[in-house]
């Protein structure tokens, strides 16, 4: 072999050995399970409050109502599922048992059920009908079971925990896949209410025995957490991590501020779910037919939930016929139209993305990944680099009023603060300054026209990892 050839081979070898891509960032802090990731991507789904309260015009029944009062005349779970699907929702969660103890299935552990009702002469099973409708329309199926039971004689005794576990057994083994099990901590509230020492370990074990992939909702998860109010407003700062040790659902929950905002460097991954009703109450009342939330109000809720790193669970209560009222349905379709129009065109899809820091200067982790629409490609920096600037050049002037940012949360939530600037033709001007990002953060601001944007990651708990930045023009409401 000629000396020049040998020298060239060695040069190529050393050049290639120096171009190996750096290792990806290690996960930081608490991270989501795959099932929590799948849940987060659902983003928006329907809550259904339905039961005797629908027919007695109260929000909290007392368990003494005659079960025969439950008698929907035209119940159609396929209508519910069709509306949810058309609204862009991905799932339905039903109040299988509320605080009154009434079961929407013929439970063997209660005498306050659809079996004792006038509906279908006691031969109906609403959970069966809804689970089948969800399957038909490609929706996930979830259940709410209140551990509080104002009807069952064992409530308030040690024996009741096993009774409640038995009801969970029935629901979670008899109706197919359950994506979310919804618990609240209600426990004998009101005058002379009986208290129960709930065995949450038993309840959770029962859920996971039948539905190992289910997300358990409560004040403290463990799958996802209540975010502290029923107005539809998650915290502007919203960490998906929280310290849950020593807390429990209900009176022993963490402080409201922590529920709303999560906790930086919390030990558990407990992302927020925002629950709110489309009407003033949770159960249907004819007196609220003209009090369905306005389109503008629901759009606000979308941005203060989904737009703040939270899933949105929107309650839409069926009426006494067992149908979703036309006023509710029409408003849901209006909301779907606005969401679709807003996010139909990403004005940054053809933009040039650059960053002042890139991990190992490797194209694999380059800023171009922020505009490719692929969830699993991302931009990141070297481990020691906790701040950075990303520039977006549209190539021409664009007019917009929405900016969406996403962290690659399989590696943890990291960004603590960031700001945004736009180029006015001669200088950079401030547009927004915020704290957390998480799975999805959507910023709203007045119409802005510019050719260039800059996003400054000002403070990050570990090297920032972002997998998407997109820009939109939303219709004015």
Query: Which one, of 156, 148, 153, lies nearest residue 203 by Cα?
Result: 148
Q: Crossing angle of helices 160-174/126-136, nearest 10°?
A: 40
Tell me the per-residue pLDDT of 179-232, one tens digit each, with 9 for 90 and over.
Answer: 999 999 999 887 667 889 999 999 999 999 999 999 999 999 999 999 999 999
Look-up: residue for tokens 């519910």?
A: 80
pLDDT score at 4: 53
Which tokens sit at 432?
């927004």
Kindly list the structural domains of the chain, giving each domain's residue range(s) and its CATH number in brackets, ordered by start.
34-343 (3.20.20.80), 352-472 (2.60.120.260)
Which tokens sit at 15?
């050049």
Residue 182 CA, distance from chain mean position? 13
- Is 188 within 8 Å of 148 (Cβ atoms)? yes
For residues 208 and 91, give the distance between their C-alpha atoms in angstroms, rounded to a whole number: 20
Q: pTM of the prediction?
A: 0.95
Paired with 433 in beta bridges are 419
- Is 345 within 8 Å of 399 (Cβ atoms)? no
- Is 313 within 8 Å of 93 (Cβ atoms)? yes
For residues 455 and 370, give the distance between their C-alpha atoms in angstroms, rounded to a whole number: 12
Give the per-residue SS3 of 92-109: EEEEEECCCCCECCCCCC
pLDDT score at 14: 38
Element (H, E) at 136: helix 126-136
Question: Per this entry, what is the length of the chain?
Answer: 477
Residue 395 Cα distances to 349, 429, 450, angstroms: 11, 18, 10
Segments of the chain with pLDDT less than 50 = 1, 3, 6-18
- Dihedral, CA atoms, 186, 325, 333, 280, nearest 10 degrees? -40
Q: Is 13 exposed, middle or buried (0-12, 13-18, 19+ CB in 10 A)?
A: exposed
For residues 310 and 441, give the distance between their C-alpha atoms in angstroms, rounded to a whole number: 9
pLDDT score at 18: 43
Which tokens sit at 367?
């800023």
For residues 343 and 346, give the distance between their C-alpha atoms in angstroms, rounded to a whole number: 7
The answer, yes or no, to whether the previous bond of 222 is cis (omega within 30 of 0) is yes
């Amino acid at each position: 072999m000629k000396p020049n050839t040998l020298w060239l081979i060695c040069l190529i070898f050393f050049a290639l050995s120096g171009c190996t891509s750096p290792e990806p960032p290690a996960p930081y802090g608490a991270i989501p399970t795959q099932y929590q990731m799948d849940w987060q991507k659902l983003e928006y789904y329907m809550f259904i409050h339905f039961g005797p309260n629908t027919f007695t015009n109260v929000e909290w029944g007392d368990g003494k109502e005659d079960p025969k009062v439950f008698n929907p005349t035209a119940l159609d779970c396929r209508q519910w599922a069709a509306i949810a699907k058309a609204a862009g929702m991905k799932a339905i969660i039903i109040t299988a048992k509320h605080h009154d103890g009434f079961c929407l299935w013929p439970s063997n552990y209660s005498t306050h059920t659809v079996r004792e009702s006038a509906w279908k002469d006691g031969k109906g099973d609403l959970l069966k009908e809804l689970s089948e409708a969800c399957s038909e329309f490609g929706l996930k199926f979830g259940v709410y079971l209140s551990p509080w039971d104002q009807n069952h004689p064992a409530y308030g005794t040690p024996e009741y925990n096993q009774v409640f576990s038995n009801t969970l057994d029935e629901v979670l083994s008899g109706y197919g896949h359950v994506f979310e099990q919804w618990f609240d901590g209600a426990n004998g509230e009101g005058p002379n209410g009986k208290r129960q020492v709930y065995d949450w370990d038993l309840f959770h074990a029962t859920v996971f025995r039948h539905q190992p992939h289910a997300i358990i909702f409560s004040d403290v998860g463990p799958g996802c957490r209540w975010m502290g109010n029923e107005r539809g407003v998650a915290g502007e700062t919203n960490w998906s991590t929280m310290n849950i040790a020593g807390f429990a659902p209900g009176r022993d929950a963490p402080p409201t501020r922590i529920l709303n905002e999560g906790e930086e460097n919390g030990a558990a991954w407990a992302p927020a779910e925002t629950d709110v009703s489309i009407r003033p109450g949770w159960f249907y009342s004819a007196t609220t037919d003209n009090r369905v939330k306005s389109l503008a109000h629901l759009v606000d809720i979308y941005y203060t939930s989904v737009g703040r790193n939270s899933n949105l669970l929107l309650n839409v209560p069926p009426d006494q016929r067992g149908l979703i009222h036309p006023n509710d349905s029409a408003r849901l379709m209006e909301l779907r139209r606005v969401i679709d129009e807003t996010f139909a065109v990403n004005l940054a899809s053809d933009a040039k993305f650059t960053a002042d820091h890139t991990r190992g200067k490797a194209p694999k982790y380059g800023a171009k990944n922020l505009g490719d629409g692929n969830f699993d490609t991302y931009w990141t920096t070297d481990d020691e680099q906790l701040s950075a600037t990303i520039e977006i050049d549209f190539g021409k002037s664009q007019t917009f009023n929405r900016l969406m940012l996403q962290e690659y949360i399989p590696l943890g939530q990291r960004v603590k603060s960031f700001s945004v600037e736009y180029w006015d033709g001669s200088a950079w001007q401030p547009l927004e300054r915020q704290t957390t990002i998480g799975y999805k953060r959507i910023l709203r601001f007045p119409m802005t026209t510019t050719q260039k944007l800059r996003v400054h990651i000002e403070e990050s708990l570990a090297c920032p990892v972002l997998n998407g930045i997109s820009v939109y023009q939303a219709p004015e409401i």
